[in-house]
């Protein structure tokens, strides 16, 4: 890593802020992080959105200060609408280079992220040819690696609100324009509008091409996890908090070490991971059950968070300290789609940074009984 880490920013009320604690802040800032659940469109800083909109003559009706209306994001459809607006202003290779570079450096390396698998959404940029999108993103990825030491790969996301035939067509494009940086496919947008069984053909095509497979499952029944594993061939699940509602499915996922990529702040705001009260009880249940859990920040500026803050909220809400938080990073190394040699190298970097990370004292009281005085 190069450069100096930025100090922790102030976090707005919607981001589940926590009390200032220098020991916790130092611990989470120093911890290495591996990012497996972060959407490129969702990482774009509001000022960048405003500037790209001006570049392309797109009226926004809002400025950088109020672009992201976080209080409305309990309504997933409203959040996805904003996501589509952001996607619409990223139009040429230079735009994709800029947002990729900024998200990997300011939104990644500055927070101790060593490696990220970026979720791309070609359907979110409907007028951009897929090869042009790839050119810009890969250029940004390579420049971020050279300047900040952060490595990254790409996961191409299927919009589940579209047809299974659209999904097959997108996977065919991925295969036709196959590059080393693209390591897998994902499935996003509203689960209620696109049950996973619709996409079996696309996922089997991706599997035959040797692509990794994951999918979002945040609001459907636990049985959807079985569909992902048995019909789509997924080797990890994005979100998946509802798995703990079914002991048999949970036990299977524990035995098979199925990774779950959890995003504390965004999922709490969206009420996918519990009651939306900042206690993060579902993540605690998943950890206590022995599931392989990773932590990431989903769509950071849209939810007023960042990779450091998502670790901070768990340190405060669940009392987790260095060793447990480091397990999340170790899990992400295990779950990522690098080859064995690259994983071993990444694991060594993680271990060295964890060893140099100061631990914070344990909480003096049960964090589950404390109210967050800042809310």
The answer to whether residues 200 and 165 touch, using CB atoms and an 8 Å cutoff, is no
The answer to whether residues 274 and 268 touch, using CB atoms and an 8 Å cutoff, is yes
> Is 11 part of any domain?
no
The answer to whether residues 182 and 153 touch, using CB atoms and an 8 Å cutoff, is yes
- 125: domain CATH number is 3.20.20.140
The answer to whether residues 151 and 145 touch, using CB atoms and an 8 Å cutoff, is yes
Residue 199 in this model has a pLDDT that exceeds 50: yes
> Is 115 part of any domain?
yes
> Is 83 part of any domain?
yes
Using pLDDT thresholds of 50, 70 and 90, give the confidence band for residue 371: very low
Using pLDDT thresholds of 50, 70 and 90, give the confidence band for residue 305: very high
What is the domain count for the chain?
1
d(CA 139, CA 101): 8
Per cent of the chain over pLDDT 90 is 77
Alpha-helical segments (H) within 183-277: 200-208, 223-230, 247-256, 264-269
Mean pLDDT of 350-362: 97
DSSP secondary structure letters along 156-206: EEEETTS-HHHHHHHHHHHHHT--TTEEEEEEES-GGGS-GGGGHHHHHHH
Question: pLDDT at position 373, please?
Answer: 36
Tens-place pLDDT, residues 33-72: 999 999 999 999 999 999 999 999 988 877 888 788 666 5
Q: Which residues contact 234 (CB under 8 A, 6 or more apart)?
A: 203, 213, 214, 215, 228
Residue 126 in this model has a pLDDT that exceeds 90: no
Residue 339 in this model has a pLDDT that exceeds 60: yes
Token pair of 260, please?
């779950």
191 vs 271 pLDDT, higher one? 191
| Rg of the chain taking only CA atoms, in angstroms | 19
Per cent of the chain over pLDDT 70 is 91
> Is 98 part of any domain?
yes
d(CA 132, CA 97): 11
Mean pLDDT of 331-345: 98
> Is 142 part of any domain?
yes
Using pLDDT thresholds of 50, 70 and 90, give the confidence band for residue 10: low
Q: Within 10 Å of residue 76's Cβ, how many Cβ atoms? A: 18
> Is 15 part of any domain?
no
Q: Compute CA 291 distance to the chain's CA centroid, rounded to the nearest angstrom.
A: 18
Name 150's bridge partners.
Answer: none
The answer to whether residues 128 and 122 touch, using CB atoms and an 8 Å cutoff, is yes
Tens-place pLDDT, residues 227-249: 999 999 999 999 999 999 999 99
> Is 10 part of any domain?
no
> Is 47 part of any domain?
yes
Residue 1 in this model has a pLDDT that exceeds 60: no
* Enclosing domain of residue 181: 26-362
Residue 374 in this model has a pLDDT that exceeds 80: no
Mean pLDDT of the chain: 91
d(CA 96, CA 101): 8
Residue 259 in this model has a pLDDT that exceeds 80: yes
Using pLDDT thresholds of 50, 70 and 90, give the confidence band for residue 9: low
Token pair of 127, please?
């007028």
Residue 203 in this model has a pLDDT that exceeds 60: yes
């Amino acid at each position: 890593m190069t450069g100096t880490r930025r100090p922790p920013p102030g976090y707005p009320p919607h981001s589940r802020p926590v009390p200032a604690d220098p020991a916790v802040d130092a611990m989470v800032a120093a911890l290495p992080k591996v990012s497996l659940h972060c959407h490129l469109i969702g990482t774009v800083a509001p000022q960048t959105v405003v500037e790209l909109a001006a570049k392309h003559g797109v009226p926004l009706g809002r400025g950088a200060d109020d672009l992201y209306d976080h209080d409305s994001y309990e309504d997933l459809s409203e959040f996805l609408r904003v996501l589509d607006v952001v996607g619409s202003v990223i139009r040429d290779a230079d735009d994709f280079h800029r947002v990729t570079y900024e998200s990997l450096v300011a939104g990644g390396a500055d927070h101790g992220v060593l490696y990220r698998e970026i979720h791309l959404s070609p359907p979110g940029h409907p007028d951009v040819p897929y090869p042009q999108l790839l050119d810009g993103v890969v250029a940004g990825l390579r420049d971020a690696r050279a300047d900040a030491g952060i490595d990254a790969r790409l996961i191409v996301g299927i919009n589940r609100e579209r047809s299974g035939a659209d999904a097959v067509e997108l996977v065919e494009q991925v295969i036709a324009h196959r590059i080393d940086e693209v390591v897998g496919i994902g499935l996003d947008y509203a689960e209620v509008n696109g049950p996973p069984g619709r996409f079996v053909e696309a996922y089997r095509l991706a599997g035959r091409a040797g692509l990794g497979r994951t999918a979002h499952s945040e609001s459907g029944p636990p049985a959807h996890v079985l569909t992902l594993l048995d019909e789509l061939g997924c080797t990890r699940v994005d979100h998946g908090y509802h798995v703990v509602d079914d002991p048999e499915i949970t036990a299977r996922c524990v035995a098979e070490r199925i990774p779950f990529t959890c995003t504390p702040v965004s999922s709490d705001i969206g009420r996918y991971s519990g009651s939306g009260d900042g206690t993060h009880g579902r993540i605690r249940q998943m950890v206590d059950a022995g599931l392989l859990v990773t932590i990431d920040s989903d769509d950071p500026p849209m939810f007023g968070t960042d990779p450091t803050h998502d670790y901070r909220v768990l340190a405060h809400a669940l009392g987790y300290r260095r060793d447990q938080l480091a397990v999340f990073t170790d899990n992400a190394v295990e779950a990522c789609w690098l080859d064995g040699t690259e994983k071993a190298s990444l694991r060594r970097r993680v271990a060295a940074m964890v060893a140099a990370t100061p631990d914070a004292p344990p909480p003096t009281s049960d964090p589950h009984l404390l109210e967050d005085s800042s809310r």
